[in-house]
Structure 1
């Protein structure tokens, strides 16, 4: 089985896969100071709860946008799973797609992996929206080439900034307002409308501008923890792929082993 690790700015996701089928998945808060030993204790207990063991893991692949977290994750693979982790974007698992941007070396690993997975699952021109710490909108063409995109503050980040800068505003849960009215009659209602409908309008507006610039029929693929929250309230998404990054890592692992 494969252990795929997606280290993001907020959480590190660990997933065990058989082929491309996710057998188990867990997340832990990102902390670059967390040691390989700490990861191992936590992960061993979770594997046991799922009826799995470390001995059943014969490969590890990592994508990270937190460089300081990489070393301890590589040590985790070597010390506790007795294998050398593959790192997405580094030989022998280079991206394998054209990066048609000015600074390809600065592209986040998660965005490249998402592009690879989305193109494999949904051929054609694509906009991939990843709702994470930041919300990213990435454009790829029908050849699978990465063309660039947009980085916007994430939904939680936007709420944190609002509450942190306004002393009298309470912290609220991010959820759809109870009605479709955009005239709030209480402070909480007004905040919820501003966060939810305001953010959805941001996404719809950016997608419309991207589609106009691409100039060809373009599918919109959404991923990330908050993607499902917005589903049912907009027609902007053509597909939801909650595990796009993990799926992309599995695909890259397969490609590396077929090539070898």
Structure 2
């Protein structure tokens, strides 16, 4: 069974297509009256927001696929297990307290509790399930070059740029950095690039499409190479 577009990718493509259809008649009027670049900038910010929606939906569906597959303990991605344990046991807060009060007894108790949870996971009792998607997305769902590697490490993908690069034959980090810099300049600083044209706008949207396509295909291949069967993945994602 081969790769299929995810539901999130289809919706992303639909939203960009609708935006282009809506923009066409508006741009003619705006360009004629000197406001074409500003109109394109506004639509660019909208398009980038759809990239954020894609990331959120894709992560949610990926976790649903993992839950549906219910892989054995030794098939779960190491980094995902680490994040689940770290988050559920609130270890970060305990280590911060330990760095202040050096109460070794308290931190040892928390570590022991975590160790027992790992032991119970390895036996399959209780069943291990992915945490709520909001926990994985927390503070990382905005698609910036800094957030994306951290988000996908939580999902067990150690080198997201390598995954994207292999799937799309591109420098995904460089592309996302460029796309994000333009969005940040427009949305936070009110800077529209001089001469920002319809050709430029279409080129940027095409870069977004290529990036999403590579991420979608790359993560699919990553999980289906050992953690989840292709049939279960396709069923949950599409």
What TM-score comes out, normalization by structure 1 length?
0.27
Q: Greater relative contact order: 1 or 2 (C-alpha under 8 angstroms, separation 6 or more)?
A: 2
Between structure 1 and structure 2, the one with the greater Rg is 2
Greater helix percent: which structure? 2
